Amino acid sequence: MYRIVRKKILNPSVVMMDIEAPYVAKKAQAGQFIILRADEDGERIPLTVAGYNREEGTVKIIFQTVGASTMKLGALNEGDSIPDFAGPLGRATETEGLKKVAVVGGGVGCAIALPIAEKLHEEGCEVHSIIGFRNRDLLILEDEFKVCSNKLVIVTDDGSYGEKGVVTAPLKALMDSGEKYDRIIAIGPLVMMKFVVETARPYNIPTVVSMNPIMIDGTGMCGGCRLTVGGKTKFACVDGPEFDGYLVDFDEAMQRGSMYHEHEAKEREKACNLFRQN
């Protein structure tokens, strides 16, 4: 069993937890993920490592309560335990030799972007972070990004905080102003990452995206997270989750992702009814 050491509500739908998992904490790196179950009968949930403390033996996870399983997980409190917490899985983010990087995060994807920005900062890289949200109420991790970013731009769709607009606008403005990045790292909704790639393409700046589709076993055997990258089939869990954004077939990935929306909505409604009854 894996004990919940700390729990913090970041916004109405996003929760942060530190899980006691010393063997995972010992090996975890930025960009990798874990797979957990909220209870003995629960489904497997892939969540990116949002941080780790090797001395304390804890791993940080940040998740949005959008489905039945994440609602169950979010209902747990400090001192409670979960039965499974497997990892670290996937390939760690490659940061060696990078001198200046733009890290672009959207929504809860900022939880994945943060440890990457922190690692780059620790290695002496100049980090320009751009993080976007629908509105101020959904803002997360602002203080943490301030610490590890040489420049930080916050945008909201409705202009309720920071600049009004989407993340591609300040990214383009920075590149137009003469900023020369070794790499752009984009993490967020598929449509956001697609347009970050298209924004970067005319400047020919290497752009990496983190693909976090449906994962089941995390070992490449089930095929649930398959993607087309450069015309070849890849698996996000073992070949990624990070890929060259210029090679990813985003339209196919978005079409596959939408296949599960109806099922997810039904399961969420079941979970909501269960919580109401209790």
Kindly give the residue spans of alpha helices, DSSP state H, lying in 28-129.
68-74, 110-122
Question: Does the structure show a pLDDT above 90 at 83?
Answer: yes
Question: Does the structure show a pLDDT above 90 at 80?
Answer: yes
- Give the pLDDT band (50/70/90) at residue 122: very high
Which part of the chain has CATH 3.40.50.80? Answer: 100-210
Question: Does the structure show a pLDDT above 80 at 270?
Answer: no
Cβ burial 52-75 (10 Å sphere, 16+ → b, else e) = beeeebbbbbbbbbebbbbbbbbe
DSSP characters for 161-179? SSEES-THHHHHHHHHTT-
Question: Does the structure show a pLDDT above 80 at 271?
Answer: no
Residue 124: the pLDDT is 96
CATH placement of domain 100-210: 3.40.50.80
Bigger pLDDT: 257 vs 162: 162
Which part of the chain has CATH 2.40.30.10? Answer: 2-89
Question: Does the structure show a pLDDT above 80 at 212?
Answer: no
User: pLDDT per residue over 123-147, tens digit each?
Assistant: 999 999 999 999 999 999 999 999 9
Residue 59: the pLDDT is 97
Residue 266: the pLDDT is 54
Residue 220: the pLDDT is 73
Q: 139-153, 160-174, 245-259: lowest mean pLDDT where?
A: 245-259
CA–CA distance, 269 with 266 (Å, rounded to integer): 5
Q: State both tokens at 119.
A: 């690692």
Question: Does the structure show a pLDDT above 70 at 278?
Answer: no
pTM (2 d.p.): 0.87
Q: Domain 2-89: what homologous superfamily?
A: Translation factors (2.40.30.10)
What is the mean pLDDT of the segment spanning 199-228?
84
